[in-house]
Amino acid sequence: QLQLVESGGGLVQPGGSLRLSCAASGFTLNYYAIGWFRQAPGKEREGLSCISRRGGSINYVDSVKGRFTISRDNAKNTVYLQMNSLKPEDTAIYYCAARERVCSGLPELFGSWGQGTQVTVSS
């Protein structure tokens, strides 16, 4: 059974950093594009970044460009999201999701999701 588990969330001050991990089990991650999404209270789920199956194609939403970096280690079956210069508006639940086809920023195109990890940016 395909399973994704996010970790690495927490409370951080504005300007701080966190690294989120998305660990896969039950399947080989390198057959899937992986996206990171977030959802703040009262808002729709937002696509942040996506990395292709072999990492050759990466994209970011404008609001996180230059601050967030997605990467993958297929040998460890894990995808990461390094988040720097965090802002209070980055506060949300962060999710990773898998898709067998090419990257997309649309959450409805991803079939497998983790349970999410809370990120809170506050002083």
- pLDDT of residue 18 exceeding 80, the answer is yes
96-120 pLDDT, tens digit per residue, is 999 998 999 999 999 999 999 999 9
Using DSSP, state whether 29 is helix, strand or coil.
Answer: helix
pLDDT for the residue 26:
85
27-73 pLDDT, tens digit per residue, is 888 899 999 999 999 999 999 999 999 989 999 999 999 999 999 99
pLDDT for the residue 28:
87
Using DSSP, state whether 42 is helix, strand or coil.
Answer: coil
pLDDT for the residue 80:
98
In this structure, what DSSP letter does residue 41 have?
T
pLDDT for the residue 104:
93
For the chain, the first-to-last Cα distance in angstroms comes to: 40
pLDDT for the residue 107:
96
